[in-house]
Amino acid sequence: ASYYNENTIVYLNGKYVKASEAKVDLYGQTMHYGLGVFEGIRSYHTVHGNTKIFKAVEHYDRLRNSAEALNMPYNWHTVDLIDATYEVLRQNNLQDAYIRPLVYGPANMSFNLNSESNIVIEVWEMGKFLGDKLLRVLASPFQRPNPGGFKIEAKACGHYVNSILASQDAKAKGYDEALLTDMHGFVAEGPGANMFYEKDGKLYTPALGHILPGITRATVIELCDELNIAVEEKTFTVDELKQADAAFFCGTAAEVIGWESLDKVKFPLDWNNSLGKVLQQAYKDRVTERSLAPERLDGLGKGLKSKE
């Protein structure tokens, strides 16, 4: 994959520099121990013809919260980082982009606190992350990290060892993506996305506590509210999930993407008749600032009853 070329510009500690010329210290806690925090953000070309970073404030606020959770110094202001991000997009001539801010430590091989942090903001072009086709999901043998041992609400670099193990295992077994449980065996999230399922015309999603509090998850809940779709946060097992009518992942990179099956058990509801499809469309409208037009969504989300 080519994330950058010799002309690519990144924002690094207040300066706009060439990615190919920027240097990172080899003797730091982030590279060696995974003590770093990052964000995954998207910008979109809107229906108004401009470039808009979706939920920029929420993402940079979460970056700060993640850094504070890991005791990493964080001396930047959300508004300044948003300005810098628009400037990096402009300098790289990107509109529909993935934005990756990373906060990392200076040289320090001890476990002691750092007195400062570095920040880099990288941007690259990104289309669909998990593709467009429905996903065949594996209930992973990997569990999410124990919240008693990690700051699981932080988007910390080291947590992604767990994500990579689960994702690679699922793909090696012939599936598209993994679904991880928490340490108690309850459904948690994907390696890089939250999930919802539909049952009898209502949506359910794992409650906060063992998962990353996804900004897309919050957006989906907001959209449900606007569209009068019932949604409940609760604790449930993989076996319960296999009784669902339909299911989907949601995340900044994944956006809203439906599931075909879980452990080869197919979901009975046609994706095109699911609430997930309604929300997929509504999400696309929200990120591109097209106003919600309920009549365009009419006929979608008919549920299983439409078969009768």
Q: Per-residue contact track with ligand PMP, 26 to 45, x per CB under 6 A? A: --------------x-----
Q: Which residue of 192, 206, 258, 303 would you call a contact of ligand PMP, by CB under 6 A? A: 192
Which residues lie closer than 8 Å to 1 by C-beta, 6 or more apart?
none
Task: Supply the DSSP string of the chain, one letter for each residue.
Answer: -----TT-EEEETTEEEETTT----SSBHHHHH---EE--EEEEE-TTSSEEETTHHHHHHHHHHHHHHTT------HHHHHHHHHHHHHHTT-SSEEEEEEEE--B--SSSPPS--EEEEEEEE---SS-SSPEEEEEEEEEPPPTTTS-TTS-BGGGHHHHHHHHHHHHHTT-SEEEEE-TTSBEEE-SS-EEEEEETTEEEEEPTTSS---HHHHHHHHHHHHTT--EEEE--BHHHHTT-SEEEEEETTTEEEEEEEETTEE-SS-GGGSHHHHHHHHHHHHHTTPPP-HHHHTTS---GGGG-
**CB of 62 vs ligand PMP, minimal distance in Å:** 7
Q: Which is nearer to ligand PMP, 198 or 255 (CB)?
A: 255
**Closer residue to ligand PMP, CB minimum distance, 58 or 270:** 58
For residues 54 and 285, give the distance between their C-alpha atoms in angstroms, rounded to a whole number.
Answer: 12
**Residue whose entry in the numeric block shows the structure tokens 């808009």:** 52
The reply to whether 155 belongs to the active site is: yes
For ligand PMP, which residue of 85, 181, 252, 273 counts as binding (CB under 6 A)? 252
Q: CA-to-CA distance for 234 and 58, rounded, in angstroms?
A: 23
**Contact region with ligand PMP (CB under 6 A), list: 74-82, 91-99, 117-125, 214-222:** 214-222
Q: Are 203 and 226 in contact (CB under 8 A)?
A: no
Of the pair 70, 269, the CB lying nearest ligand PMP is at 70
CB of 251 to ligand PMP, least distance (A): 3
Shortest approach of ligand PMP to residue 126 CB, angstroms? 13
For residue 210, state whether it binds ligand PMP (rule: CB under 6 A): no
On the 0-12 / 13-18 / 19+ scale of CB atoms within 10 A, 9 is: buried
* Residues in 152-181 at the binding interface with ligand PMP, rule: CB under 6 A: 155, 163
Among 84, 212, 262, 275, binds ligand PMP (CB under 6 A): 212
Asked if residue 193 binds ligand PMP (CB under 6 A), the reply is yes
Question: Does the protein bind ligand PMP through residue 105 (CB under 6 A)?
Answer: no
Please report whether residue 217 would count as binding ligand PMP according to CB under 6 A. yes
Cα atoms found within 13 Å of the Cα of residue 118, Cβ hemisphere only? 20
Q: Does residue 182 bind ligand PMP (CB under 6 A)?
A: no
Q: Is 205 in the site for ligand PMP (CB under 6 A)?
A: no
Q: Least Å distance between CB 191 and ligand PMP?
A: 6
Q: How far is the CB of 77 from ligand PMP (least distance, A)?
A: 20
Select from 20-28, 88-96, 207-215, 268-276 the region that touches ligand PMP (CB under 6 A).
207-215
Choosing from 55, 155, 277, 302, which is the catalytic residue?
155
What type of residue is 107? Answer: A
* Identified binder of ligand PMP from the candidate list 63, 203, 215, 279, rule CB under 6 A: 215
Residue 56 or 269 with smaller CB distance to ligand PMP: 56
* 194: contact with ligand PMP by CB under 6 A: yes
Active site (catalytic) residues:
155
Please report, as ranges, the residues that interact with ligand PMP according to CB under 6 A: 40, 155, 163, 189, 192-194, 212, 214-217, 251-252
